Amino acid sequence: MNKLTFTVFIILTASITFLTGRSFRVQQVPYGSKYSCNTCHTNGGGTPRNPFGKDVESRVSPGGNETFWGPDLAALDSDGDGFTNGEELQDPEGNWKQGDPDPGDPNLVTHPGDPDDHPPVVSVKDEKNFQNEFVLFNNYPNPFNPSTKISFNIPVNSHVTLKIYNVKGELVKTLADNDYTPGTYEALWNGRNDNGVQVSAGIYLYRLNANSFTETKRMVLLK
């Protein structure tokens, strides 16, 4: 084999390895094709693997035919933002299988490899809890670590703010500041402030303002 043939052989081998390596991985996580390697890499294909990409990579065996996605990978919080990989990819239980339609709402899909990107306030169909009045529900779980869910109900179109304060009354995090149609909504708080910094353990207050309705409740972030 002369030098040129050898060089072409190496390039071809590397390309095939690269392409197959990328494609089989992204097809085995929900929304893999939509976001391609952006769910596995810090800044798109070719850049270093992010924490989620490393967790996926740890499941690669020779041949790469194993199923990556499942309840155990969905239950991990690879990027440490307080939301599980399943919550970020709209498949909390990790039930999605290769070949299924992508789960959940594409607009709500967030990035399991990026601690600054996580699920926003979502509308939840909750016939049992829906009431024809403003309600701020107790957060769950409480006490909590690392994350908790805060739900509210609004009976009419409302401008809603949902904010978290420390016991000194200082604003820690704005979870919602938007117009919402009647319904029940759920926000997740991951114990980080508006700058993405993990806050210390202790008592926090969450306040809902919706039109003229205001209510404040307490919750406890554990160490």
Contact flag: residue 118 with Ca ion (CB under 5 A): yes
x/- mask, Ca ion, residues 92-111, rule CB under 5 A, reads -------------------x
Report DSSP letters for 194-218, one per residue.
TTSPBPPSEEEEEEEEETTEEEEEE
Which distant-in-sequence residues (6+ apart) come within 8 Å of 11 by Cβ? none
CB of 72 to Ca ion, least distance (A): 15
Contact flag: residue 55 with Ca ion (CB under 5 A): no
Task: Determine how β-strand 122-124 pairs with β-strand 158-166.
Answer: unpaired
Stretch that binds Ca ion, among 75-83, 101-109, 175-183, 192-200 (CB under 5 A): 75-83
Distance between first and last Cα of the chain: 63
How many residues touch Ca ion under the rule CB under 5 A: the total is 8
Contact flag: residue 91 with Ca ion (CB under 5 A): no
CB of 35 to Ca ion, least distance (A): 12
Contact flag: residue 83 with Ca ion (CB under 5 A): yes
**Pick from 28, 37, 39, 79: which binds Ca ion (CB under 5 A)?**
79
**CA–CA gap between residue 146 and residue 141 (Å, rounded):** 10
**CA–CA gap between residue 85 and residue 76 (Å, rounded):** 6
Give every strand in the sheet of 122-124, ordered side by side.
122-124, 183-189, 148-154, 135-136
| Nearer to Ca ion (CB atom), residue 32 or residue 158 | 32
Contact flag: residue 77 with Ca ion (CB under 5 A): yes
Residues forming contacts to Ca ion in the complex (CB under 5 A) are: 77, 79, 81, 83, 111, 114, 117-118
